[in-house]
Amino acid sequence: MPSSLTDRMQPVVAELFKFVVVGGFCFVLDTVLANWFHFGLGLGPTTSKTLSTVIATGVSYVGNRLWSFAHRVDDDRGHGQDISVYAAINVVGLVITLIPVDVAHYVLSETSKLAFNVSQVLGTLVATVFRFWAYRRWVFAADPGEAERSALV
């Protein structure tokens, strides 16, 4: 029995690894852009984080669709439904990310670079767990049995 659990977990681990690579790149992009928008251009923390997240989400969609979850994509289905659901999930993810950013800035009056970055990292961590679960469940869910068998490719 232990090998069957291992066999079942291997595709999930492979997907998670790819998701983390794409997400890691997008996290760096998001963080750099958020800091540039906020501290370089002087935009507010909510606007800065929203703009950076929208850009990083676009890059993330391409990476996840073409690599992380490519084996789960139903080629016969149009991209419109995937993109709509992906966008909806990322709106929820954005709200999750903005909660600590806004609490730090507007409730606790913490306006330093450290406070901004710590709060966006905390929000991003929670939102990432939600996104991984939601992408597998609703966006890239074509034939999960077959998808899990071919996840290592």
pLDDT of res. 12: 76
For 41, list phi and psi in degrees, rounded to 5. Answer: -100, -10
Question: Residue 86's CB: how many other CB atoms inside 10 A?
Answer: 23
Gap between the Cα atoms of 29 and 149, Å rounded: 32
d(CA 105, CA 111): 6
92, two tokens: 């929820």
Please give the pLDDT value at position 79.
55
| pLDDT at position 83 | 79
| Cα radius of gyration (the chain) | 17
**Residue 43 confidence (pLDDT):** 97
Q: Domain count of the chain? A: 1
Query: Mean pLDDT in each 10-residue stretch from start to end of the chain (153 residues)?
Result: 67 83 94 97 97 94 82 61 83 96 97 97 94 83 53 44
| Residue appearing with tokens 């077959």 | 146
Lookup: tokens for 93? 């993810």
Tokens standing for residue 86: 């992906």
Full domain range(s) for residue 44: 2-149
